[in-house]
Structure formats: C-alpha cells, structure tokens
C-alpha cells in the first residue's frame, strides 16, 4: 500500500518534472516561434498605440479577441476582413452609442488618429497565424 512518503514523492517529483517541461516549452514558444507566428516585426508604434487604447478602454469587457474576453459583443479578430476599414472607423469615432441591432456600444468618440491606431492594431491581429481559429462555418445553410 502507498505510504505517505511515497505520496509526497509523487507530488514533489511529478511537479518538478512537469514544471521543467513547461518552462522549456514556454522558452521555445517565446524565443523561437511566437515572433514569427505573430509577425512581431510588424508591431509598429501605431499597432502598439492601438493595443494601449484597447487596454485602456477595456474593449475586452464586451468583445472577444483571439476568442478571449466577454460574450456581449462580436469577436473582433477578423473584423477588418469582415467589415472593412471605413465601417470600423465610423463605429470608433461615433459621438453617440453605436447600436445597429439595439445593443449599445459605449460612444468613445475617438479622434481620427486614435481610430487609425486601433485599425492598425486590428490589422496586426488579423494577420496572426491562429492555428485555424476562427473556423470557417462548415454546415451548408
């Protein structure tokens, strides 16, 4: 029968082993793979400014990006592809809450430059290789 000492060894030994593998995979991801897969060289000052606006206004509190966030408003990973830039710009600069379907978005009234930055951010996001997400709808209507 298993003793307490063996159980303790199972816990510490297993944890240390798995943690080392995890750190190794993390290192490989960050150092060798993610820069290429996300086009890190395309992180221009505009993209970064867009990301800061995304954070500062907690857009993720309603929307998802890369499938992460809230479930109140549309997923925005491929929004440039879906809507085109002029549409997005008018949403972002609108002085009244944007609500084409009754559900309101906060009226941020971004400046032209801020809207451009957010669009640059969305364009960067849209180009990241996401291993096939979001999937193409595969049932015929």
Partner 1 sequence: MKYKSQKVAYWFFVACMVLLVLQITYGFIMAFAHLGYDGLHAITPFNTARAVHTNLLVVWLLCGFMGAAYYIIPEESKRELYSIKLAYIQLISFLLVGVIAIAGYHVNWWEGRKFLEIPRPLDYLVVINVLAFLFNILMTLWKAKERTTTAMVLTMGLVFAALLYLPGMIWFDSQTLDSFFRWWVVHLWVEGVWELIMGGILAYLLIKITGVDREVIEKWLYVIIGLTFISGILGTGHHYYYIGTPNYWLIVGGIFSALEPLAFLGMALFAITMYMRSGRNHPNKLALYWTMGCAITAFVGAGLLGAAHTLPQVNLYTHGTLVTAMHGHMAFWGAYAMLIFAVISYAMPLMTGRKIYNNMTGLLAFWFSNIGMIGMTLSLGVAGVAQVYLERKLGLSFMQVQKEIEVHFFVMIIAATLFSTGITLYLINFFRYGKPKDEAILSETEFESLQSQGA
State the residues that interact with ligand HEM by CB under 6 A.
67-68, 70-72
Three-class DSSP category at 16: helix
* Nearest-5° Cα angle at 70, 35 to 139: 80
Kindly determine how many residues on this chain lie close enough to bind partner 1 according to the rule CB under 8 A: 69
Q: How many CB atoms lie within 10 A of CB 120?
A: 20
**Candidate list 31, 41, 56, 96; residue touching partner 1; CB under 8 A:** 56
Residue 40, interface with partner 1 (CB under 8 A)? yes
Residue 109, interface with partner 1 (CB under 8 A)? no
- Helix intervals (H) in the chain: 4-28, 34-37, 45-56, 79-83, 85-93, 112-127
**Candidate list 87, 90, 97, 112; residue touching partner 1; CB under 8 A:** 97
Cβ proximity to ligand HEM: between 73 and 107 the closer is 73
């Amino acid at each position: 029968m298993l003793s307490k000492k063996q159980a303790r060894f199972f816990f510490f030994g297993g944890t240390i082993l798995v943690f080392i593998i995890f750190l190794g995979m993390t290192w490989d991801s960050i150092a060798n793979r993610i820069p290429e897969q996300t086009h890190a060289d395309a992180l221009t000052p505009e993209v970064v400014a867009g990301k800061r606006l995304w954070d500062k206004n907690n857009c993720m509190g309603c929307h998802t990006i890369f499938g992460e966030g809230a479930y109140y408003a549309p997923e925005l990973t491929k929004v440039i592809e879906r809507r085109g830039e002029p549409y997005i710009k008018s949403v972002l600069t609108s002085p009244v809450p944007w609500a084409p379907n009754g559900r309101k978005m906060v009226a941020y009234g971004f400046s032209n430059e801020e809207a451009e930055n957010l669009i640059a951010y969305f364009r960067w996001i849209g180009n990241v290789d996401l291993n096939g997400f979001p999937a193409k709808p595969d049932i015929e209507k």
